């Protein structure tokens, strides 16, 4: 039976609000890739030796994303299992390596930062008998400028703070080498998977080869729902792109840079001025159509025949004001995106170390928020993977232990001065738990570290040492 999209409001992909979201996503992708519709005039293309209609920009939107993404480094997976033998943690860490997440996590984080959200589809790889992680972007249709591929998360009233209802995936399937295609859609519910193909304006039930039912039950061996297998990675609670606030400033930067180039071309070089005669490109008299008149360019000669003959020069203009305008807009971009100025500005002045640290505080705070959101999503990925391994692979993994994602500290990567400061604080007795917080570890990560046998053993040794020292002090006092 055909299902009309109008009867499924939450799947109305062409609704005005959804189209706006998709267009915003495509715009963010374009700006990230440097496609910002900043075109040069014919004269500037000639001046810069640029062929065709190639655009020109000073792309800082990519930096706005990369400065956060490069600090979101997940290094592995642990669990809160007790004792030396931690089979669930060992299994998860092996899966981390098998899926090459040390590298592939970058695509997930980059997509979420750029688009405002991304997805990881966790399914069962029957050939290799293990779970499989596949990154997916947010869906954008052709009408919005997208590539017709990706996922969409469906929440009640489109409110991401509510429990997730389902995730739909859409793509165009190639049927042969002659260009024949069909549109496909799969909807992932907690307890079932529904497949559709597009026929006219309707979505019709579809079965792949090997499917024995429609919908496909998505339950464990006890008949309990396995959960939504497409994991949503929101960048913020409102699914906001990191680039969104940067786009207007990026446009202003591009305009200012093009203006600077124009000023440099027209007035930034010394130009000679001839009085009493007009220089031409062929040395002959100026033609009526002025086709042989010398052009304004660096080192060119201008002239007029209506005065006594002379030969003068016009010095180039000071371009510092135009450069200051570009610098000012770069500074504004740093403010609205919490991007350190040292990553985007070309000013020769280097800020003092204290100023640089203050500039990075906003970046660190933003990165911690993103890490907490992504951390929850990665935990969901491994929870789903464990359920699939138990259901389809008979792995026999205990599903009670909680996964703990290991992240490289956000601030520890920054300066040797900070690292030396932590070392000094440790030597004078600042608690290790306090130092871990300063290094950028989340409360959950600190709790996981404190739960390890190594931490407990170290704390026990410290307590023993303190007791010995106290006893020695007491004895010395008694002897005195």
> Looking at 5-64, which runs of residues are DSSP E strands?
none
Q: How confident is the model at residue 299 (pLDDT cuts 50, 70, 90)?
A: very low
Whether the CB-CB separation of 119 and 232 falls below 8 Å is answered with yes
The pLDDT of residue 165 is: 95
| Dihedral angle sign, alpha carbons of residues 471, 473, 474, 476 | positive
Distance CA 194, CA 209 (A): 14
With 80 as the cut, is the pLDDT of residue 331 above it? Answer: yes
Closest by CA position to 360, among listed 415, 299, 283: 415
Q: What is the 3-state secondary structure (H, E, C) of 134-200?
A: EEECECCCHHHCCCCCEEEEECHHHCCCCCCCEEEEEEEEECCCCCCEEEEEEEECCCEEEEEEEEC
* Backbone torsions φ then ψ of 223, nearest 5 degrees: 85, 10
With 80 as the cut, is the pLDDT of residue 163 above it? Answer: yes
Average pLDDT of span 93-101: 95
Distance CA 322, CA 291 (A): 32
40-66 pLDDT, tens digit per residue, is 666 666 666 566 666 778 889 999 999
What average pLDDT does the structure give for the chain? 82
| Dihedral angle sign, alpha carbons of residues 37, 42, 45, 51 | positive
Distance CA 418, CA 423 (A): 9
Q: How confident is the model at residue 13 (pLDDT cuts 50, 70, 90)?
A: very low
Q: Percent of the chain beyond pLDDT 90?
A: 46
Residue of higher predicted confidence among 454 and 301: 454
The pLDDT of residue 476 is: 56
CA distances from 209 to 14, 206, 212, 213, 348 (A): 30, 10, 9, 11, 64
The pLDDT of residue 466 is: 52
Distance CA 167, CA 218 (A): 14
Distance CA 235, CA 241 (A): 7
């Amino acid at each position: 039976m055909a299902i009309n999209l109008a009867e499924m409001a939450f799947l109305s992909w062409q609704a005005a609000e959804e189209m706006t979201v998709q267009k915003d996503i495509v715009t963010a992708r374009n700006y990230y890739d440097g496609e910002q519709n900043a075109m040069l005039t014919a004269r500037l293309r000639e001046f810069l030796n640029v062929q065709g209609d190639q655009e020109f920009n000073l792309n800082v939107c990519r930096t706005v994303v990369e400065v956060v993404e490069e600090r979101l480094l997940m290094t592995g997976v642990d669990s809160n299992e007790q004792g030396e033998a931690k089979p669930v943690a060992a299994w998860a860490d092996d899966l981390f390596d098998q899926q090459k997440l040390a590298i592939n996590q970058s695509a997930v984080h980059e997509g979420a930062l750029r688009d405002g959200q991304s997805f990881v589809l966790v399914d069962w790889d029957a050939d290799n008998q293990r779970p499989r992680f596949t990154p997916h972007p947010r869906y954008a249709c052709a009408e919005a400028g997208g590539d017709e591929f990706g996922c969409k998360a469906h929440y009640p009233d489109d409110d991401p703070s509510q429990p997730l209802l389902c995730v739909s995936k859409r793509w165009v399937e190639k049927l042969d080498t002659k260009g024949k295609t069909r549109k496909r859609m799969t909807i992932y519910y907690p307890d079932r998977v529904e497949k559709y193909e597009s026929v006219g304006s309707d979505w019709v039930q579809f079965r792949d080869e090997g499917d024995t039912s429609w919908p496909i039950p998505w339950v464990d061996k006890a008949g309990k729902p396995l959960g939504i297998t497409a994991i949503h990675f929101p960048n913020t609670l409102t699914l906001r792109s990191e680039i969104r606030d940067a786009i207007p400033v990026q446009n202003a930067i591009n305009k200012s840079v093009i203006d600077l180039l124009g000023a440099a071309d027209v007035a930034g070089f010394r130009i000679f001025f001839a009085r009493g005669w007009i220089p031409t490109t062929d040395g002959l008299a100026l033609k009526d159509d002025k086709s042989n008149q010398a052009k304004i360019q660096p080192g060119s000669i201008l002239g007029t025949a209506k005065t006594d003959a002379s030969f003068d020069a016009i010095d180039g203009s000071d371009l510092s004001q135009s450069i200051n305008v570009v610098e000012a807009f770069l500074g504004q971009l740093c403010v609205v995106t919490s991007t350190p100025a040292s990553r985007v500005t070309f000013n020769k002045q280097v800020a003092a170390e204290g100023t640089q640290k203050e500039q990075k505080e906003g970046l660190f705070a933003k990165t911690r928020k993103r890490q907490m959101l992504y951390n929850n999503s990665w935990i969901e990925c491994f929870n789903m993977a464990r359920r699939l391994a138990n259901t389809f692979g008979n792995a026999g993994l205990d599903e009670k232990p909680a996964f703990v994602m290991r992240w490289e500290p956000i601030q520890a990567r920054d300066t040797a001065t900070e690292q030396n400061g932590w070392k000094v604080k440790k030597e004078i007795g600042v608690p290790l738990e306090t130092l871990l917080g300063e290094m950028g570890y989340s409360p959950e990560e600190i709790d996981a570290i404190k739960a390890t046998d190594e931490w407990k053993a170290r704390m026990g040794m410290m307590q023993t040492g303190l007791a010995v020292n106290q006893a020695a002090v007491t004895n010395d006092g008694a002897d005195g």
